[in-house]
Amino acid sequence: MSEISMHRICKSFDRHKVLDEVNLEVEKGEIHCLLGENGAGKTTLMNILYGLYHADSGETYIKGKQVNISSPKVAQQHHIGMVHQHFMLIESMTVLQNIILGNEEGKFSIDYARSRDKVLDMERTYHFNFDLDKPISALSVGEKQRVEIFKAIYRGADIIVLDEPTAVLTPQEVEVLFHILDDMRAQQKTIIFITHKLYETMELSNSVTVLRNGKVVQTLRTKDATSQLLATMMVGHEVSFDIKKTPCRPGETVLDLKNLRVLPVADPQGISLKLHKGEIYGIAGVDGNGQQELESCIIGTSRPISGSIFFDGKEITNLSVSERKMRGIAAIPSDRLRNAILPDMSIVDNYLLGFQHHQKFAKYGFLGLNALRNHAAKMIEAYSIKVSSLTQPISQLSGGNQQKIVFSREAGLEPLLLIAAQPVRGLDIGAIDAIHRQLLELRDSGKAILLISTELSEIMEMSDRIGVLYKGNVIAERDADKFTIRELGLFMAGQKAS
């Protein structure tokens, strides 16, 4: 008897069939990976299991018994927990308060002492170690995620769904997470794990279900799979990811950072670097070494502590975001949800966001709606973005497809400089390949690209030059082929060249 059995699940939005007779069997005490391209239906299927959505037809069985999971509350009664990609914690409250929220000990008032004891007890069982009195706002992304997982366990979950948990983590945090999941599996918890990273699937899971266009392609034991086989199943045809890079022919300087200090801990001389036309400059580094601050100083959402930024020969250190945009700086910010889209607005409107004054759309002070619609349609076609109409709210798109819209909007209007911060986070393998090719095409057409990424392989593969960011300083800079992976790793850990 399977722990979870979803049988012939169908789900449509409008007339668009998103899940088509989906069967899912998950065994107790296993880690089951759910794979599929952006928009394949992974999140939707799990939202149905967790009671956030209702299937149009089909049945769900938990431990052999048919259940009607009408809400997350009911899901919790069936011992199902879910950790969403966007955390649902209350930032101003402490770790302890968040964990016990809604499940407090005490009859009439909250018995914090007893709640704390219970939490500490469970922390020991499952090898967690929190500072219970810290506010959530002071935690790193990885810590917040661990609070979410623990909270689900605390509420009694023995089935836990994790929707792309590694997309937002650094490699070190991924390791910690994998230990935790290993531990949970050993304690007979059942885990459903959504990821786009095939090596994670191969490393972690016992079995895999691959979805394509809302249908199950196959469920198989991981030991019978290879990354290549899984990729082929996801995409529907053989895939090869050999990116051919032409030699770099750098032109004039586009971006010139002079002694830019973005972190208080940085040395006073700060970051100095030049980025040229036709060049991809990769910023490598462990998350939290000033990447975000550097990004926002160049985009214009914050100001450096000291130093100056020159763009196309002119100083822009104190210009506004929109002034920079008009001069030709485009950006794919790392925190897309907060900084790059308006979730309730339509896809078309989101294509306009930040480009209201672009010559292409604004003629004689009027907005050219047709031009805008045509542009949006062209981008959606060029980047194979899955949408049902141009007027649907962007929040209805799958995570990866929202991201492709941001990328195509920013890259599609021929910027002089593109800041690409974690540009492929959350994308499926086909989309990653497509975005990487687009970045190279932009570079070959003479654009300058600043690639900020915590993925070493991406930095190595894409960059012409690499700078390693450590505590707010670039502590090493070379042509990309002059670094070995090992050296890069050492610099990222703060070791100086020997």
Ligand X SMILES: Nc1ncnc2c1ncn2[C@@H]1O[C@H](COP(=O)(O)OP(=O)(O)OP(=O)(O)O)[C@@H](O)[C@H]1O
Quick one: CA dihedral 90, 96, 101, 107, positive or negative? negative
| Least distance (Å) between residue 458 CB and ligand X | 18
| Distances, alpha carbon 251 to alpha carbons 12, 255, 275, 437, 448, in Å | 51, 12, 9, 20, 9
Q: Residue 241 binds which one of ligand X, Mg ion, none, with CB within 5 to 8 A depending on kind?
A: none
Interface residue with ligand X, options 22, 40, 136, 451 (CB under 6 A):
40
Q: How far is the CB of 98 from Mg ion (least distance, A)?
A: 24
Output 204 or 309, the one with its CB closest to ligand X: 204
CA 163 – CA 155 distance, rounded (Å): 18
Shortest reach from residue 20's CB to ligand X, in Å: 11
In the bound state with ligand X, the residue whose beta carbon lies nearer, of 139 and 167, is: 167
Q: Where are the beta strands (DSSP E) in 251-299?
A: 253-261, 271-276, 279-284
Using CB under 6 A, pick the residue from 206, 245, 396, 487 that binds ligand X.
396
Contacts 24+ apart (CB under 8 A), 56-60: 56/10, 56/11, 56/12, 57/8, 57/9, 57/10, 58/6, 58/7, 58/8, 58/9, 58/10, 58/21, 58/22, 59/6, 59/7, 59/8, 60/4, 60/5, 60/6, 60/7, 60/9
- 285 near ligand X, judged by CB under 6 A: no
- What is the smallest separation between the CB atom of 55 and Mg ion, expressed in angstroms? 17
Quickly list DSSP for 457-490: HHHHHH-SEEEEEETTEEEEEEEGGG--HHHHHH
Instruction: Give the position of tokens 């459903």.
Output: 192
Q: Does 166 bind ligand X (CB under 6 A)?
A: no
Stretch that binds ligand X, among 41-49, 54-62, 114-122, 302-310 (CB under 6 A): 41-49
Is there binding between residue 398 and ligand X (CB under 6 A)? yes
Among residues 18 and 283, whose Cβ is nearest to Mg ion? 18
Nearer Cβ to ligand X (18/33)? 18
Label the pairing between strands 4-13 and 16-26.
antiparallel
Q: Is 386 in the site for ligand X (CB under 6 A)?
A: yes
C-beta of 42 vs 276, nearer to ligand X: 42
Q: Which one, 422 or 473, has the nearer CB to ligand X?
A: 422
DSSP state of 346: B
Answer whether 143's CB lies under 8 Å from 151's CB.
no
Taking contact as CB under 6 A, which single stretch among the options 1-9, 98-106, 123-131, 399-407 is the one that binds ligand X?
A: 399-407
Q: Choose the one of ligand X, Mg ion, none that binds residue 473, judging by a C-beta under 5 to 8 angstroms depending on kind.
A: none
Torsion of CA 337, 85, 469, 419, to 10 degrees: -30
> In the bound complex, what is the minimum distance in angstroms from residue 397's beta carbon to ligand X?
5
C-beta of 71: minimal distance to ligand X in Å? 16
Is residue 81 a contact residue for ligand X (CB under 6 A)?
Answer: no
How many chain residues interact with ligand X (CB under 6 A)? 18
Q: Rule CB under 6 A: is residue 354 a binding residue for ligand X?
A: no
**Least Å from the CB of residue 369 to ligand X:** 24
Residue of 255, 383, 240, 402 lying closest to 314 (CA atoms): 255
SS3 call for 323: helix
CB of 10 to ligand X, least distance (A): 13
Q: Per CB under 6 A, does 201 bind ligand X?
A: no
Instruction: Give Rg (Cα) of the chain.
Output: 24
What is the C-alpha separation between 35 and 202, in angstroms, rounded? 12
Kindly tell me which residue out of 142, 282, 290, 399 binds ligand X, with binding defined by CB under 6 A.
399
Contacting ligand X within 43-72 (CB under 6 A):
43-44
Chain contacts with ligand X (rule: CB under 6 A): 13, 18, 36, 38-44, 386, 396-401, 428
